[in-house]
Amino acid sequence: MIKVAVFGYGTVGSGVVDVIDDNNELISKRIGDDICVKYILDIREFPGDRNESKIVHDVNVILDDPEVSIICETMGGTKFAYPYTKSALEKGKSVCTSNKELVAAYGPELLETAKANNCSYLFEASVGGGIPIIRPMNTSLAPEHIEKIIGILNGTTNYMLTKMAREGSNYDDVLKEAQDKGYAERNPEADVEGYDACRKIAILSSLMTGKTVNYENIYTEGITKLTAIDFEYAAKLDRSIKLLAIAEDRDGKLAAMVAPFMIGREHPLNGVNDVFNAIYVTGNKVDDVMFYGKGAGMLPTASAVVSDVVECARNMGRNISFAWSDEKAPLADFKDNERSFFVRIKQNAKDEAKEMFADAKEVEGVSGEYAFVTAKMSEREFDDKIVKLSDVINIIRIEE
């Protein structure tokens, strides 16, 4: 009998318990042994809950129980999740997590701790919710030199951008709707400022390079400056606006960033809408592959956690390794990236802009504005020019 404990009985944690209970016969058959949840760690009481008898408040009850071999960490944050996870791994208990913040901050250390104690630290659910991406990168794409990863990695912002594009809604209105539907937190900063997507691309970048990419070093912009008018312009250009997370190998250095981009209708990520996520991976031999699905939500994320439980159960007493060292990956300066830019300015600055960006393509604008798309240039060259231009309303990068 495989006995599992769950750290945190919130949305994902309760989903993990439901997946193991509801699909128990199927999971047990695929593992080759029976499986059950023995403990659930939470500071709260759950009177009347069907799993009330499994609730414990002391982590040591779980850590000191030799019957528990696999732990699902769904607490979030690092304050408690980090010491609890490390202690579990030191005791030879495998840990499966959905905690992107913990993986991004302590991934190499926890992977090394797991290796030293013949257990595993798995984190399929930390990127892309229910989309399989971590295991494919570690196994199916293991022979590949990954040249580029570009993804829509946050369901909340993708839902908001989809609503703004379809309905012409303003940012504040779609944010409130996302909060009312439970897609956005009361404090939505991690999503709308791009921090969530940044942590996820840092994890994927680390697996891509085999070295550590600190999310703090990745240039990140959110969606808070976008307005309904930006989407009117995008439609005129036959483009959509998406929050993209990009990691690219540039001559042995990693160029990574998170920002809103205009993409064309032919772009593979153009049709990814609502709360769906997608990750587009380019390898030097396999060429292009794409992973698509629900990037968040109780059951899709819980299913990804339990997929790791199955993997750990199949490899009991063995370490599932990852090529991810604590050596820092060399980073390229994102200002060397070359692309075109969509720019909105006030009408009175039109002549100034035409002189400064002589090769720009004018876009039919709204009253009182002048809009244009620049020729392809480096971020540095664009910054040097745009800082001299008065009355800039907004700027959106273009991804071809």
Q: How far is CA 230 from CA 1, 31, 49, in A?
A: 57, 51, 47
Q: Is this model's pTM higher than 0.85 or not?
A: yes
How many Cβ atoms are within 10 Å of 109's Cβ, its own excluded? 15
Reading the chain (400 residues) residue by residue, the pLDDT tens digits are 999 999 999 999 999 999 999 999 999 999 999 999 999 999 999 999 999 999 999 999 999 999 999 999 999 999 999 999 999 999 999 999 999 999 999 999 999 999 999 999 999 999 998 899 999 999 999 999 999 999 999 999 999 999 999 999 999 999 999 999 888 888 999 999 999 999 999 999 999 999 999 999 999 999 999 999 999 999 999 999 999 999 999 999 999 999 999 999 999 999 999 999 999 999 999 999 999 998 878 899 999 999 999 999 999 999 999 999 999 999 999 899 999 999 999 999 999 999 999 999 999 988 899 999 999 999 999 999 999 998 999 999 999 8
Residues serving a catalytic function are: 200
Measure the CA–CA gap between 76 and 170, rounded to whole angstroms: 31
Question: In order of start, what are the domains of the chain with their CATH numbers?
Answer: 2-129+298-314 (3.40.50.720), 148-294 (3.30.360.10), 336-399 (3.30.70.1150)
Which one, of 218, 269, 277, 278, lies nearest residue 248 by Cα?
218
| Token pair of 198 as six digits | 């940044």
